[in-house]
Amino acid sequence: QQLNLHNVQEKERRSSESLLMSQFPVTLKKQLVDDWEFVTQLGKLVKLPRSPTVDGILTKYLEYRVKKDNKISDSCAEVTKGLRCYFDKALPAMLLYKKEQKQYKEEIKGDVSPSTVYGAEHLLRLFVKLPELLSSVNMEEDALNKLQQKLLDILKFLQKNQAHFFLSAYDGDSKGADGAKGK
């Protein structure tokens, strides 16, 4: 009996976690594929520091919410703060491709937070990992759904500002760039 209830709760949890991935904007999925190709196939890197940075993007998102809602909700501020914290912790552990490791070591020294150096390309990679990261957080279904709605809103904001936030071409700054077309 108890095992059955646990299985049902697990299924519900998985279905809500996939909400984020099932509604992931197609143009941003393409952005992820292009990002992967630039770095892993063409040996190109994102030139750092990025402008806007992850910090800058999240600040712009909060400003956008204030304009839209005439106020900033505590939950919205909390989600962006949590996202920034997750980003800073997750970047070196799971968001970098092998070819980006050296660049990370050169750019992030001392108390420098990755969110003040990296931009939209790496933030987008975090969104792909979030369902996996959130599955280990003990959160009620309703709270998890509300969180995912807020994360989807941030994704839509990224999509709306895609031309401004994302690079269209990367630096040929990595070994292995053999005259591949950039800009």
Cis upstream peptide for 52 (omega within 30°) = yes
Domain of 96?
Answer: 2-165
What's the CATH code of the domain at 49? 1.10.274.30
**Where is pLDDT greater, at 75 or 117?**
117
Is 176 a member of any domain?
no
Q: How crowded is residue 7: how many other Cβ atoms within 10 Å of its Cβ? A: 10
Looking at the structure of the chain, the number of domains it has is 1
**Where is pLDDT greater, at 170 or 111?**
111
Cis upstream peptide for 114 (omega within 30°) = no
pLDDT at 165 over 70: yes
Residue 150, sorted as left (phi over 0), alpha (psi -120 to 50) or beta, turns out to be alpha
User: pLDDT digits over 9-61, tens only?
Assistant: 454 445 444 667 778 899 999 999 999 999 999 999 999 999 999 999 999 99
Contact yes or no for 94/129 (Cβ under 8 A): yes
Is 172 a member of any domain?
no
pLDDT at 72 over 80: no
User: pLDDT digits over 82-116, tens only?
Assistant: 999 999 999 999 999 999 999 999 999 989 999 99
Is 114 a member of any domain?
yes
Is 50 a member of any domain?
yes
Averaged pLDDT of the chain:
84
Is 36 a member of any domain?
yes
Is 177 a member of any domain?
no
Is 174 a member of any domain?
no
Tokens 């890197």 -> residue: 45
Is 139 a member of any domain?
yes
